[in-house]
Amino acid sequence: MFDYSIFEKELNTLKESGLFVNIRTLESAQGAWLKINGKDVLNLCSNNYLGLANNERLKKAAKKAIDDWGVGPGAVRTIAGTMKLHEELEKKLAEFKKVEAVLSLQSGFNANQAVIPSITSSEDAILSDELNHASIIDGVRLSKAKRYVWKHRDVEDLEQKLQQADADGARYKLIITDGVFSMDGDLAPLPEIVEVAERYNAMVMVDDAHGEGVLGSHGRGIVDHFNLHGRVDIEIGTISKAFGVIGGYVAGKKELIEYLKQKARPFLFSSSLSPADVAASIEAVKILEESDELVKKLWDNAKYFKDALKKLGFDTGHSETPITPVMLYDAKVASDFSKKLFEEGIFAQSIGYPTVPKGKARIRVMISAVHTKEDLDFAIEKFAKVGKELKVI
């Protein structure tokens, strides 16, 4: 018999250091309020920025797709064929993102695994921001290319690494960055990155998971926000956050997408999204194209909450987006803060190492477009109460 006590030991170590993640069971759909342990709590955790995860139009589209197309795709698209629905989503997303072509995948995580190893080999160089998302890091691990990690948002350091890659004889260079960094809410300095990439003839790839539906006109993302259309080679997107469904995609030139359909392993060896997912995603893009009302409401709500917390004396870091980190630094304090908030009717998880660096624990507040002003006032009042109790303000 295999000795499972090694897992038990590691789990106990996590519990002792306050880093064991207690996963809450939800008894209701995603939304501004949730039911947990039979109790209604205000939800400040999800990436459901625009409230689309439980939107009536998306649900209707998903139900119709089940009637028309069934529940499963049958196999991978290269073998079982591709449904017209998937192609319709890809066309819609390409128009929305103002790119030539899009390839949909099962998740944003998979989209990074699809692109990075299939377009780089041992002769190439990958240059990655040190705080890039785990799915980028894992994608890079799957590639045989030489790695260069540059200091967070430091374009001078990136330029030095580009020179180093040239000196090392790289065939070509791929720069990868998150668009919005998910734990701090700061933006990649994309215009400067593009400028240095053009000078060094490097490709630029940006993971727009937290920019989608949030930044740019109608939530078109970070490339639109900085007006860099046509100057960023590869965009990674997720349908699992602001779009409210599940899935990921790669956006870029036609040649890139054609190439990925032949080479990318998550495309070749894993089945595609279900018809219901795809139809709901198409509906999400339609809603964003029709109106920017939800995106505007999201930003208004986030500004209202952030301003109030700053006024109370909380340290909310240097976020440039609706992501609001409430910095508590100590993992134990953050975990106590979260527990007390829960007692007060607020679901806001504490986040510690390894999701954020050691000594940088926080409550990451995610405000959405479906929170009302009363919801936000309720949250502000409770943060003030718990903050005073724990003497952090």
182 binds ligand PLP (CB under 6 A): yes
CB of 159 to ligand PLP, least distance (A): 23
Instruction: Pick between residue 107 and residue 120 the one whose CB is nearest to ligand PLP.
Output: 107
CA-wise closest residue to 297 among 222, 366, 371: 371
**Token couple for 90:** 């890809």
**Token couple for 20:** 């064991």
335 binds ligand PLP (CB under 6 A): no
Omega of the bond leading into 354 within 30 degrees of 0 (cis): yes
Name the residue type at position 286: K
Catalytic entry in 182, 319, 338, 368: 182
Q: Of the ranges 13-21, 66-74, 202-210, 327-335, which one interacts with ligand PLP (CB under 6 A)?
A: 202-210
272 binds ligand PLP (CB under 6 A): no
Binding mask 113-152 for ligand PLP (x = CB under 6 A): --------------------x-x-----------------
- Calpha distance 16→54 (Å, rounded): 37
- Strand-pair category, 346-347 with 350-351: unpaired
Question: Is residue 133 annotated as part of the catalytic site, yes or no?
Answer: no
- Calpha distance 381→385 (Å, rounded): 6
362 binds ligand PLP (CB under 6 A): no
From the number of C-beta atoms within 10 Å of its C-beta (0-12, 13-18, 19+), residue 138 rates as middle
- Calpha distance 127→175 (Å, rounded): 5
238 binds ligand PLP (CB under 6 A): yes
Q: Which of 43, 46, 120, 240 binds ligand PLP (CB under 6 A)?
A: 240
Instruction: Pick between residue 110 and residue 375 the one whose CB is nearest to ligand PLP.
Output: 110
Question: Is residue 86 annotated as part of the catalytic site, yes or no?
Answer: no
Number of H helices, E strands in the chain: 15, 13
185 binds ligand PLP (CB under 6 A): no
Instruction: Pick between residue 159 and residue 184 the one whose CB is nearest to ligand PLP.
Output: 184
Instruction: Pick between residue 189 and residue 345 the one whose CB is nearest to ligand PLP.
Output: 189
**Token couple for 133:** 């998302």
Place of tokens 């002769």: 123
Instruction: Pick between residue 207 and residue 375 the one whose CB is nearest to ligand PLP.
Output: 207
SS3 of 114, please? helix
207 binds ligand PLP (CB under 6 A): yes
CB of 133 to ligand PLP, least distance (A): 3
- Calpha distance 265→314 (Å, rounded): 45
Q: Which of 124, 129, 178, 235 binds ligand PLP (CB under 6 A)?
A: 178
- Calpha distance 382→393 (Å, rounded): 13
Q: Which of 216, 219, 248, 275 binds ligand PLP (CB under 6 A)?
A: 248
CB of 153 to ligand PLP, least distance (A): 15
Determine the residue with CB nearest ligand PLP.
108
- Calpha distance 271→78 (Å, rounded): 9
Instruction: Pick between residue 232 and residue 341 the one whose CB is nearest to ligand PLP.
Output: 232
- Calpha distance 254→265 (Å, rounded): 18
CB of 351 to ligand PLP, least distance (A): 13
- Calpha distance 187→180 (Å, rounded): 5
Binding mask 77-116 for ligand PLP (x = CB under 6 A): ------------------------------xxx-------
Number of Cβ atoms within 10 Å of the Cβ of 304: 16
The sheet that has 101-105: what strands, in order across it? 101-105, 248-252, 234-238, 203-207, 173-178, 125-129, 146-150
Q: Of the ranges 14-22, 68-76, 206-214, 353-361, which one interacts with ligand PLP (CB under 6 A)?
A: 206-214
Question: Is residue 210 annotated as part of the catalytic site, yes or no?
Answer: yes
Give alpha helix (H) positions in 17-107.
Answer: 56-69, 77-80, 84-97
Residues 6+ apart with CB under 8 A from 333: 361, 390, 392
Catalytic entry in 173, 218, 241, 371: 241
CB of 45 to ligand PLP, least distance (A): 13
* Active site positions, annotated: 182, 210, 241
* Residues within the interface to ligand PLP (CB under 6 A): 107-109, 133, 135, 178, 182, 207, 209-210, 238, 240, 248
